[in-house]
């Protein structure tokens, strides 16, 4: 098959330029992608061509120039598409991660074998990392990433990717019976988390209360429509009056001030869903924390056993930074294989024969201060690898938090009070579709309340500019 078209590439100066693309190949033999006549990307077998019907504008699209992936690129990853060839007439939503598993590769890497394929360093990401995205008229989707759309309307389906991501936050940090949870910043992602909470509660007959926290009139109305039991307007209520009021605070503000507010409000846990790439509350690399779906916990006998609820594994290998107390080190040695030293030592260990043919990450990392915490997440500016496994945990030695610098004093107290920071990224489309089928009123609320603007594909720049306006909720680009 040969597909030739023009599309608008996104550039590092936050502008768009027209480029000519050509896709030629097939699912069994692979594909070649040319851009303006030059070779752009080679894809092996396992991809099917789809025609874009609609694509939502995401906050990630608006901040795409700040991500460590090459530009220019056709961006856009919230895709509703139609099949070509033998799939003609079928509609699909598309999971964004291009992995061995998604392509149906018979020789998966160790990340797939460990059950975390979306964290494989070799993955490409639709509309974010190399793989051309949904703001072009055609995409090439990994065959198992194209999910047939049945039982959900196309209007709601274009929101499937962000809804699945929102649902992932609930699955990673599920409310307990009797909890009072809050969503801070219920705009695009926050509204979807409200909807995910409401549908999760109904499907599971769970007992918890949902509060939205905002400071905008239109978001007060929207939050109630998306499932909030009550809304707190921060123009009328001081953050300090909400200290320790909520068992879980899902922070979707992507701001330092929002994160600080969440730390103050949370009684047990902050779930960090999105960040701005900046140091927040004295902690660096929180964006990367979310990318790797890592958790930060105070050290305890219980927390050394941490793993995601759906994972069937036991922690074995632990790295302990030099600042951690000897008491903790010696205690850990009775139960685990323990390595210690600085970040360079840790990287050398992970690249040694000790981790040959194994996931090259520690199950847990123990730290004593913000600098070590930062290095546990990203030890080396030359690559994007953490010291700790994706969906693993970093544990904080509580004995030294009183010595943390002033800019991290709030976080130090947070951990001293035995509170936790969790994070999550992409979600399971199959589960998201199932939840919306079971809760048609939530699906209706999504399509009725969240899409504030629609533009045709030749109005991409206008759509992008509109999405930057705080008064917009979700902007969608439609293709004829």
The domain spans of the chain are: 2-159+450-478, 160-273, 277-423
Q: What is the pTM of this model?
A: 0.92
64 and 128 Cβ atoms separated by less than 8 Å: yes
- Which of 3.40.50.20, 3.90.220.20, 3.30.565.10, 3.90.180.10 is the CATH number of 2-159+450-478? 3.90.180.10
pLDDT of residue 45: 96
Residue 474's nearest CA partner among 54, 55, 56 is 56
Rounded Cα distance between 152 and 157, Å, is 6
Q: What is the CATH number of domain 160-273?
A: 3.40.50.720
Q: Do domains 2-159+450-478 and 160-273 have the same CATH topology?
A: no
193 and 174 Cβ atoms separated by less than 8 Å: no
The b/e string for 285-321 (b: 16+ C-beta within 10 A; e otherwise) is bbbbbbbbbbbbbbbeeebbebbbeeeeeebebbbbb
Cβ contacts of 368 within 8 Å, gap of 6 or more: 321, 323, 324, 325, 396, 397, 399, 400
pLDDT of residue 149: 84
Query: C-alpha dihedral over 308, 262, 194, 205, to 10 degrees?
Result: 60
Rounded Cα distance between 262 and 419, Å, is 12
Q: Give me the residues of the chain with pLDDT under 50, please.
A: none
pLDDT of residue 201: 95
pLDDT of residue 8: 98
Q: What is the 3-state secondary structure (H, E, C) of the chain?
A: CEEEEEEEEECCCCCEEEEEEEEEEECCCEEEEEECCEEEEEECCCEEEEEEEEEECCHHHHCHHHCCCCCCECCCCEEEEEECHHHECCEEEECCEECHHHHCCCCCCHHHHCCCHHHCCCCEECCCECCCCCCCCEEEEECCCEEECCCCCHHHHCCHHHHHHHHHHHHHCCCCCCEEEEEECCCHHHHHHHHHHHHHHHHCCCCEEEEEEECCHHHHHHHHHCCCCEEEECCCCCHHHHCCCEEEEEECCCCHHHHHHHHHHEEEEEEECCCCCCCECCECCHHHHHHCCCEEEECCCCHHHCCCCCCCCCCCEEEEECCCCHHHHHHHHCCCEEEEECHHHHHHHHCCHHHCCCCCCEEEEEECCHHHHHHHHCCCCCCCCCCEEEEEEEEECHHHHHHCCHHHHHHHHHHHCCCEEEECCCCCHHHHHHHHHHCHHHHHHHHHHCEEEEEEHHHHHHHHHHHHCCCCCEEEEECC
pLDDT of residue 257: 93
The 10s digit of each residue's pLDDT in 383-442 is: 889 999 999 999 999 988 999 999 999 999 999 999 999 999 989 999 999 999 888 998
pLDDT of residue 29: 96
Residue with tokens 């290998």: 317
The 10s digit of each residue's pLDDT in 275-307 is: 777 899 999 999 999 999 999 999 999 999 999
In this structure, are strands 295-298 and 388-396 parallel, antiparallel, or unpaired? Answer: parallel
Q: 235 forms bridges with which residues in the sheet?
A: none
pLDDT of residue 97: 95
pLDDT of residue 151: 78
Rounded Cα distance between 85 and 479, Å, is 19
């Amino acid at each position: 098959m040969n597909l030739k078209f023009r599309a608008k590439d996104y550039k590092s100066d936050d502008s768009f330029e027209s480029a000519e693309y050509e896709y030629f190949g097939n699912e069994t033999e692979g594909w070649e992608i040319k851009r303006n006549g030059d070779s752009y990307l080679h894809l092996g077998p396992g991809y099917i061509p789809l025609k874009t019907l609609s694509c939502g504008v995401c906050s990630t699209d608006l901040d795409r120039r700040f991500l460590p992936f090459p530009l220019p690129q056709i961006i856009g990853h919230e895709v509703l598409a139609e099949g070509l060839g033998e799939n003609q007439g079928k509609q699909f939503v598309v999971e964004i991660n291009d992995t061995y598993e998604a392509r149906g590769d018979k020789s998966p890497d160790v990340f797939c074998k460990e059950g975390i394929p979306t964290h494989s360093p070799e993955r490409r990401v639709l509309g974010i990392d190399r793989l051309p995205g949904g703001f072009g008229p055609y995409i090439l989707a990994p065959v198992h990433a194209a999910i047939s759309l049945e039982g959900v309307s196309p209007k709601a389906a274009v929101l499937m990717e962000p809804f699945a991501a929102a649902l992932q936050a609930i699955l990673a940090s599920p409310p307990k019976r009797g909890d009072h949870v809050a969503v801070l910043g219920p705009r695009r992602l926050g509204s979807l988390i409200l909807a995910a909470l409401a549908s999760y509660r109904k499907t599971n007959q769970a007992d918890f209360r949902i509060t939205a926290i905002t400071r905008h009139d239109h978001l007060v109305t929207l939050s109630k429509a998306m499932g909030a039991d009550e809304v707190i307007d921060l123009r009328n209520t001081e953050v300090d009056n909400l200290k320790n009021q909520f068992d879980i605070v899902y922070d979707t503000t992507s701001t330092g001030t929002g994160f600080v507010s969440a730390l103050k409000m949370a009684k047990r846990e902050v779930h960090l869903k999105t960040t701005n790439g900046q140091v927040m509350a004295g902690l660096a690399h929180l964006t990367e924390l979310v990318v790797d779906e890592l958790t930060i916990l105070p050290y305890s006998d219980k927390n050394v056993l941490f793993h995601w609820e759906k994972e069937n594994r036991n922690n074995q290998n632990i790295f302990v930074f030099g600042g951690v107390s000897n008491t903790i080190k010696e205690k850990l040695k009775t139960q685990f294989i323990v390595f210690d030293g600085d970040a360079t030592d840790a990287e050398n260990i992970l690249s040694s024969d000790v981790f040959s043919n194994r996931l090259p990450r520690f199950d847990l990392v123990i730290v004593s201060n913000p600098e070590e915490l930062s290095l546990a997440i990203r030890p080396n500016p030359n690559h994007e690898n953490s010291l700790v496994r994706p969906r693993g945990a970093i544990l904080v030695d509580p004995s030294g938090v009183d010595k943390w610098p002033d800019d991290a004093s709030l976080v130090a107290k947070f951990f001293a009070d035995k509170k936790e920071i969790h994070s999550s990224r992409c979600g399971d489309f199959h589960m998201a579709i199932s939840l919306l089928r079971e809760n048609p009123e939530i699906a209706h609320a999504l399509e009725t309340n969240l899409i504030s603007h629609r533009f045709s594909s030749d109005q991409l720049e206008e759509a992008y500019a509109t999405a930057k306006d705080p008064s917009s909720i979700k902007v969608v680009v439609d293709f004829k």
